[in-house]
Chains A and B, each alone.
Chain A
Amino acid sequence: MSPSASTDTPAAPADRPRALRLAKLLLSEYFVLVLCVVYVAAIYPFVPEILTWQVASNILGDMMPLLVVAIGQTFVLIIAGIDLSITAIISMAAVVGASVMTGTNGYLSGSAVAVPAAILAMLAVGVAVGAINGLSVVRLNMPSFIVTLATRMFFAGLAIWYVTFHSTSSSIADLPASFTAFATGSVLGVPYTVALAFAIGVAAHVLLSRTQFGRWVYAVGANPAAARISGVPVGRTIMLTFLISGACASVAAMMYASRMQTGSPIAGENILLDVIGAVVIGGTSLFGGKGKIVWTVFGVLFLLLIDTSMKLLGSSLFMIYIIKGGVILLAATVDTFRHHLLVNR
């Protein structure tokens, strides 16, 4: 053997723990969080504002609606489905809720119950669309991609049409101050939107990791046939994931409508790629059976860090799209390789 061949020998025993630690870090579920920290350190010399309280607060505010929708999407992706209708649910829920509570010819204009009724109406929209999606997948055995694409188109169009009956402009404004305060107010220094998103995140985490329903979700995503034979109510599980996704999109609609002080039929129209991208970047598999809420939180945070830093740099929207698209594509490619490796093992 030549002397140079010695470089191919395994790492010296002293190096092993270090290599092991690095491997552990790379495989850790906190990997994307580490990536966030590294990214902030890398971008800081170019955008020192990224570490100011104001920007951190902006990121937190921008993150919440996206996070809530992404949490719902995580459930659907774990069962190996996809929900493309979330943006249309946001639009539809925003205009329906606004039409109920607006001070200008709203159904309950000026009434004390206007805001609670509007919130219920928004939730009802999300749950109803989720039920249509779920029933179509479970009862009609249709692919979730086609079903949710169809409901997305239908409800996006319906939202615009709905506004024409409720406003002379393209959106519904004059929302009550008690509703718009949801986006600006706080409790004990914690913004309402953050508190609500945190509560939803914790509930979703507990549901997925500590309950029988959570185990069903993973089982259905990993192998629906095996899950059915094992007694898992596959249909009911799929149905519930679409209901959860719809409800989460409704909550995001509340956040957007209160933030923009307007019910707009194009609210959330452009966030679909961000939502699915954030979930996939976090590590949830597009092939189902694998995913965690905490991963989704990190994925959303990472995407928002890229987005915000690029905005601060004054990068064009097209550049931001290209970078985000590239990162999401990389994450999806990694997921595909991982899936093939597991299948071939």
Chain B
Amino acid sequence: MALTRREFTVATLAGLAATSGMTLAVRAQGTKTIAVLFDGLYSEFWVAGIQIIREDLKKRGFEIMEAISDQDDNKQFEQVRAAIARKVDGIIIVQTDSNAVIPAIKAANDAKIPMVHFNRPPAKTDAFSVAIQADNQKIARDAVTYACEVAKQSGKKHKAAILIGDLGDPNAIQRRDGFEEAVAQFADTIEVVAKIPTEWNADTAFAGLTNALQANPDISFLFTSSDFLIPQIQQALKSADKWHKVGEDGHVIFTGFDGFPDAYALMKDGYMDACGVQNLFYETELAIQAILDLQEGKEVDRLLLDPGFAITQANMEEKAPEMWGYVLWKEKNPG
């Protein structure tokens, strides 16, 4: 048994030493470091977000300490404490739960390290941090209002469904509220028959939408709180024989949110009527500038809003260049 134990020890230490060497290679000394802590890279929005932040920080000469918590609040808290122990100069964080992040903000405050929440604000707290957030409610309201006008012009009554995000995420709540404000103005045309909780989970969304379409086969108006659910929506609508272009019989008036490359492609191909767009480039700029301002001791508001915009079939040509999804789509589809 002694030999086996020794093999175990040697293998463990060799593996760890090799990994330490690899990670050490990317760790430089003497420059300012920003911790970028995301809760996951579950969609193109977050992948694009961390990529833009990474490139911007590198351009400005910062080192980056990156970590993903895999939607584990406790793990993320430990990552914040590790960043504090590394004496980073700022923390950009995307938390899973708006309540559970509060101890992390307090820890950063105690260590006098500025913390900026990217795209998701924390719950109300005495602890100080800055949140960058899209004006979700207004963006959703504008996009859905366009879709409601399209519905009204059709002269028919429409049954509507909404795919709602995780209710622990204020963004999800605000998008839902924006949708409800818009449809409330068109009560004579739109009747909401299905509010489908997704918990930001693609499988849950697919099952929920499939069930809703079976229970209400005449659904003809759909809003998704995030474009990352587009593949599941497309599959569910195809299965229900409801995947048709604008102007075709059986077209479901479809509104998205986020501004994914897929959303742009669907707009271009005529399957999507409108999409609320978060200005990812602007949000990244706001986040990094907030860290820099806080480091210099300047006063920064607790909430910095990205006004975003709604891209529709009517303004697509004019607005597309501002849409991050269009920029990524264009890179993949040059010419």
Interface residues of A (CB under 8 A from B): 22-23, 26-27, 31, 35, 38-39, 42-43, 46-47, 49, 52, 54-55, 58, 62, 160, 168-171, 173, 183, 256, 259-262, 264, 266-270, 306-319, 323, 326-327, 330-331, 334, 337-338, 341
Residue in B closest to A24 when the chains form the complex, CB atoms: B2
Q: Is the Cβ of A55 less than 8 Å from the Cβ of B85? A: yes
Q: Is B314's CB within 8 Å of the partner chain A?
A: no
Distance in angstroms between the alpha carbons of A266 and B86 in the assembled complex:
28
Q: Is the Cβ of A42 less than 8 Å from the Cβ of B103? A: no
Q: Is the Cβ of B85 less than 8 Å from the Cβ of A52? A: yes
Interface residues of B (CB under 8 A from A): 1-2, 4-9, 11-13, 15-17, 19-21, 23-24, 26-27, 64-75, 77-79, 81-82, 84-86, 96-100, 102-103, 123, 166-169, 173, 199
Among A42, A160, A169, A337, contact of B99 (Cβ-Cβ < 8 Å): A169
CB distance from B9 to the nearest CB of A (A): 6
CB distance from A291 to the nearest CB of B (A): 16
Beyond the given pairs A42-B17, A259-B103, 7 more chain A to chain B contacts, judged by CB atoms under 8 angstroms and listed by A's residue number, are A26-B2, A183-B103, A261-B99, A264-B100, A311-B79, A312-B85, A334-B4
**Residues from chain A with Cβ under 8 Å of B84 in the complex:** 54
Q: Is the Cβ of B1 less than 8 Å from the Cβ of A267? A: no
Residue in A closest to B72 when the chains form the complex, CB atoms: A270
Q: Is the Cβ of B26 less than 8 Å from the Cβ of A314? A: yes
**Residues from chain A with Cβ under 8 Å of B173 in the complex:** 168
**Residues from chain A with Cβ under 8 Å of B26 in the complex:** 314
Q: Is the Cβ of B78 less than 8 Å from the Cβ of A62? A: yes
In the complex with contacts A39-B16, A169-B168, A259-B77, A31-B99 CB distance below 8 A: no
Q: Is the Cβ of B16 less than 8 Å from the Cβ of A171? A: no
Q: Is the Cβ of B16 less than 8 Å from the Cβ of A58? A: no
Q: Is the Cβ of B19 less than 8 Å from the Cβ of A312? A: no
Q: Is the Cβ of A341 less than 8 Å from the Cβ of B17? A: no
Among B2, B79, B97, B98, contact of A23 (Cβ-Cβ < 8 Å): B2
In the complex with contacts A43-B16, A49-B86, A311-B2 CB distance below 8 A: no
19 CB-based A-B contacts, threshold 8 Å: A22-B2, A26-B5, A26-B9, A38-B13, A43-B16, A49-B86, A55-B82, A173-B123, A183-B103, A260-B100, A261-B103, A264-B100, A269-B72, A308-B82, A314-B86, A318-B68, A330-B12, A334-B4, A338-B4
Q: Is the Cβ of A326 less than 8 Å from the Cβ of B15? A: yes
In the complex with contacts A27-B2, A334-B4, A49-B85 CB distance below 8 A: yes
CB distance from B136 to the nearest CB of A (A): 15
In the complex with contacts A43-B20, A260-B74, A262-B100, A58-B12 CB distance below 8 A: no
Q: Is the Cβ of A58 less than 8 Å from the Cβ of B6? A: no
CB distance from B185 to the nearest CB of A (A): 24
In the complex with contacts A27-B5, A171-B97, A54-B75 CB distance below 8 A: no
